[in-house]
Amino acid sequence: MEVAWAASRKKGSYFQKFFYRLAARRGRKKAIVALAHKLLCLVYRSLREGNRYQEPNEEYQKVLEQEALEKRLVQRLKALGYQVELKLQTSEVQN
């Protein structure tokens, strides 16, 4: 548990974001237990497979946040009675 508390306080880390995201919904105690479980699974997997843990970079976190935002907004629009179809807008640069 002490490791989970320390990981939740490391500024700018993936684990800190995970902890605060979960604590907002479930509470601090449940969030710290979930973080401890996540750390235990990561350590076990690293030892079993023999590779080092590499924290997800900022780009990975931004992609996850964008996907979550898209999903949440689509669900809100559907709840309001709209039919939603997503298309990726690409901007073409003309020479």
Instruction: Annotate 17-66 with DSSP letters as a single string.
Output: HHHHHHHHHH-HHHHHHHHHHHHHHHHHHHHHHT-------HHHHHHHHH
Q: Is residue 11 part of a domain?
A: yes
Number of domains the chain is built from: 2
pLDDT class of 61 with cuts at 50, 70, 90: confident
- What confidence score (pLDDT) does residue 10 get? 92
In this model, does residue 95 exceed pLDDT 60?
A: no
Domain range holding 69?
A: 56-84
pTM of the entire predicted model: 0.67
Mean pLDDT (whole number) for 59-87: 89
What number of other Cβ atoms are within 10 A of residue 69's Cβ?
Answer: 10
* Dist. CA 7–CA 87, nearest whole Å: 38
Residue 7: other Cβ atoms inside 10 A: 19
Claim to verify: residue 5 and residue 46 sit in the same structural domain: yes
